[in-house]
Structure 1
Amino acid sequence: MSGIYLLLGSNLGDRMATLEKANSLLEQQLGPLCASSSLYETAAWGMENQADFLNQVVEIQSHLAPEALLKACLNIEAQLGRRRQQKWGPRTLDLDILYYGDLILNTPALTLPHPQLHLRRFTLVPLCELAPLLVHPLLQKNNLQLLEECPDALEVRLVST
């Protein structure tokens, strides 16, 4: 299935190298990358007293069911040194499933689309680079509209294309 969008973020260590390794592992373990956004740097969101994040959105094609995809993402985070110690704390790698096609899912383990997607500028800017007209199945607005209405004021700086 295509139309699976993931957000990658890193604010510890060599952030760019971590995102490059993550892209490689995603392709090896989940399926082919269909598209990748530019890299963007943003101040931390949620817990602000930490290093800036480097973020990217990728679209993948995968045969994995949503829960299996989440488990594979968590495994890749762990392979690249992620230790879950503090909510919104510093991390070598964070992988969030933004969209899984137009699937709407709400389980204890996974909510799709990502429940805070529309509130985060660092998510919407790279997402709009890849899929500006993709419609959020719950909010019935496209990603560009969500970005225009986003209450998040954090600056999102282009690092590289």
Structure 2
Amino acid sequence: MADSDLSLELPTVYLGLGSNLGDRMGSLTMALERLSQRATIREVSSVYETEPLGFKEQPLFLNAVVAATTELRPFELLRFIKQIESDLGRKAGFRNAPRPIDIDILFYGELVTQTPGLTIPHPGVAERAFVLVPLVEIAPEFVHPLSQRKVVDLLAEVDGLGGVRGVGGLSLKGTIN
């Protein structure tokens, strides 16, 4: 048996990226570049302009979903993400407040966990068009570990699809595809 056969396969991590302040596309691109320092980016969805959730009196969001693998454990990944958000100008604010960058761990393989600091899968992912549309673009057959349903099937039942509009793409070189 080859050594590579003995190594554990890293789980695919799905991350949601969002921005609605400043240079939104630039913030998403910088976040993607920073993520690539500690994760192998496998796939990136198109970028979608979306209506804000909750607090409506704020600018529209740009959202995307990234599939990656990483050796970081969930809490290490969360700390890394929080550092990226801070470095890119995110400040503490109220729930659903405007922000230059927001990075959420949507799924960490098939892991299901709920702790005071981290819940995986991300709560509400199955009801949010701004997450499901880009996720289905890159991983339509992914099975939500709690509902045991494919994300493409979850998307078929979600409201708010009219508020999700494709606007381009991201690359690690900072260009719009």
Same fold? TM cut 0.5: yes
| Whole-angstrom CA distance in 1 between matches of 2:11 and 2:33 | 17
| Whole-angstrom CA distance in 1 between matches of 2:63 and 2:105 | 13
| Whole-angstrom CA distance in 1 between matches of 2:65 and 2:156 | 18
When the two structures are aligned, how many residues end up with a matched partner? 160
- 1:105-144 superposed Cα distances (whole Å, 9 cap, x missing partner): 1111111111110111000000000111100011111101
What is the TM-score when the length of structure 2 is the normalising length? Answer: 0.88
What is the TM-score when the length of structure 1 is the normalising length? Answer: 0.96
User: Helix, strand or coil for the counterpart of 1:137?
Assistant: coil
| Residue 3 (structure 2) pairs with residue 13 (structure 1) | no
User: Helix, strand or coil for the counterpart of 1:73?
Assistant: helix
Equivalent position of 1:49 in the other structure: 57
Equivalent position of 1:33 in the other structure: 41
Paired residue type of 2:70: S
User: Helix, strand or coil for the counterpart of 1:149?
Assistant: coil
Equivalent position of 1:134 in the other structure: 142
Residue among 12, 22, 32 paired with 1:23: 32
RMSD of equivalent CA atoms: 1.0
Does the Cα contact within 8 Å between 1:133 and 1:142 map onto a contact in 2? yes
Deviation at 1:85, TM superposition (A): 1.4
Equivalent position of 1:103 in the other structure: 111
- 1:28-58 superposed Cα distances (whole Å, 9 cap, x missing partner): 1x21101000000001011111000000100
Residue among 44, 62, 78 paired with 1:70: 78
| Whole-angstrom CA distance in 2 between matches of 1:13 and 1:73 | 19
Does the Cα contact within 8 Å between 1:8 and 1:55 map onto a contact in 2? yes
Give aligned-pair identity as a percent: 45
Asked which structure has the greater CA Rg, the reply is: 2
Does the Cα contact within 8 Å between 1:2 and 1:59 map onto a contact in 2? no
Does the Cα contact within 8 Å between 1:133 and 1:143 map onto a contact in 2? yes
| Whole-angstrom CA distance in 2 between matches of 1:15 and 1:116 | 23
Paired residue type of 2:28: L
Deviation at 1:103, TM superposition (A): 0.5
> Following TM superposition, where does structure 1 have runs of at least 4 consecutive aligned residues deviating by more than 4 angstroms?
none
Segments of structure 2 that go 5 or more residues without pairing to the other structure are: 1-9, 170-177
